[in-house]
Amino acid sequence: MKRGRLQRLDTYFHLQLNFVAFPRLMGLNLSGLHKVQHLLKENAESNKVFANLKSLEISECSQLQKLVPASCYLENLATLEVSKCHGLINLLTLSTSESLVNLERMKMSDCKMMEEIIQSQVGEEAEDCIVFRKLEYLGLDCLPSLTSFCLGNYALEFPSLEHVVVRQCPTMKIFSQGVVDAPKLNKVKPTEEEDGDDEGCWEGNLNDTKKKLFNEMNSKEKIEPTLQVQ
C-alpha cells in the first residue's frame, strides 16, 4: 500500500471508534504526509492492526510524533525504514522493540530531532535484554540529535548483525548505555555501501567502536582550520 499527499490527515489510521485491522497487508509506504502526527492512535486492539506487515517505509512526514503506540506489536516486520521525519524524538517504545523478532533491516536517515531509537516508558522494564534476533543491517544516517541507540540501561543482543553504517551522527558518543552483544559484527562503516571497500572501524564491541569514532571526529574538528568569510 502506497499513500501520499493527503495533507489534512492528522492520524493515518484512526481506530478510536471502530476497530480496523489489515490482516493481509504486507507492505506499507507512506510519503509526504506533512500533517500526520500519529500513524496509529492508542487502542486496546492496536496490537492486531498490522499483524502480518513485513515492510514499513515512512518518509517526509514532518510532523509525525510517534511511529506506533506502545501496544502495537510488529512481530512479522522484516524491513523498517524512516527518513525525513523531523518530529520524531524516538522511534520505538521498549515493548514494540521487543516484538520485532523478525526484523532484518533497519535504516533511519535525516530525522533532525531524533535522540534515540528505543525509548522506554515509565513503568516499562526489560526482562533480561532486548534481542533483535534476525537483524542483519542497521543504518543510522544524518541524525544530528541522536545521542544513543537506547538511553535506558538495557542489554542489547544482535546475534545476526553483520552490517552497521553510522554516518553524520555528531552527538552519538556511544552506541547504547547498556551492554551490547553483536558476535558477527567486525566493523562499523561511515558509508552507505554495504559491500564497499571501506574497511571501517572496530574496537572489539559497538560501544568502544563508537567512542573511538566520536573521539576521532572531535580531534579532526579541532585540528582542521576554520574558514570564515566576511
Over its C-alpha atoms, the chain yields an Rg (Å, rounded) of: 18
Predicted confidence (pLDDT) at residue 99 exceeds the cutoff of 60:
yes
Average the pLDDT over 198-208 and give the result. Answer: 89
Name the pLDDT band for 120 (thresholds 50, 70, 90): low
Asked whether the beta carbons of 77 and 100 are under 8 A apart, the reply is yes
**So what's the pLDDT on residue 76?**
94
Residue 50 phi, psi dihedral angles, 5° rounding:
-115, 50
Segment 172-197, tens digit of pLDDT: 999 998 899 999 999 998 876 555 55
Average pLDDT over residues 60-83: 91
* Mean of all residue pLDDT scores within the chain: 82
pLDDT of residue 224: 52
**Per mean pLDDT, which range of 28-42, 140-154, 164-178, 199-213 is the poorest?**
28-42
pLDDT in the model for residue 7: 42
pLDDT of residue 183: 97
Mean pLDDT value across residues 12-35: 70
pLDDT of residue 40: 75
Q: Which of 2-16, 92-106, 168-182 has the lowest mean pLDDT?
A: 2-16
Lookup: cell for 31: 510519503
Cell of 197: 571497500
Burial class (CB in 10 A: 0-12, 13-18, 19+), 229: exposed
- Say if residue 15's pLDDT is above 80: no
Q: What is the pLDDT of residue 180?
A: 95
User: Residue ranges per domain, the chain?
Assistant: 115-222
